[in-house]
Structure 1
């Protein structure tokens, strides 16, 4: 049962990565085409990227191989998540 649960989590995580990547690309294109009209997209891009970093951090923390680089990657992705979340918050406050 645990293997099925893990496979389900991996599938959902991969689907979320694809959806977030498509959403980020679309928002960035619109934000650069008409920055005044789509100013809200700039902090949203940072927010979506921070969620993407969180998904990667979870992936590296849940890595069953437990090699030393996996933990370092998880820490780096966690720090990047916090930084992007901070950038998103600052962006929303400046609107």
Structure 2
């Protein structure tokens, strides 16, 4: 991967993390202020968190420095992504 493409991905990942964090925080506040009115937010929060975990897993998989535990971190983040995706799917089915 060239330097520019890598920097572009890092910038995209960081921007996505900031956007996801802001959206998740706003949705959590609304969901806890009025749970009956904003019940759809609970599975959406899990879905957005799973996307954030997937971005972290990609970051650890693409780590070119080959740090000692990066593969283990990537595997854990990918398992967390799958778990949160499952929780989101169950939440959407129960609404």
TM range (shorter): over 0.9
Q: CA RMSD in A?
A: 0.9
Shift of 1:68: 2.6
Cα deviation per residue 1:6-27 (whole Å; 9 max; x = unaligned)?
0000000000000000000000
Q: Distance in 2 between matches of 1:21 and 1:57?
A: 17
Q: Distance in 1 between matches of 2:58 and 2:51?
A: 11
- SS of the equivalent of 2:14 reads helix
Q: What TM-score do the two structures reach when normalised by structure 2?
A: 0.98
Residue 17 of structure 2 corresponds to which residue in structure 1? 17
Q: Which ranges of structure 2 fall in alignment gaps of 5 or more residues? A: none
Residue 74 of structure 1 corresponds to which residue in structure 2? 74
Shift of 1:67: 1.9
Q: Which ranges of structure 1 fall in alignment gaps of 5 or more residues? A: none
Q: What TM-score do the two structures reach when normalised by structure 1?
A: 0.98
Count residues in correspondence.
95
The equivalences for 1:1-95 within 5 A come to: 2-95=2-95
Q: Distance in 2 between matches of 1:21 and 1:60?
A: 19
Q: Distance in 2 between matches of 1:67 and 1:17?
A: 22
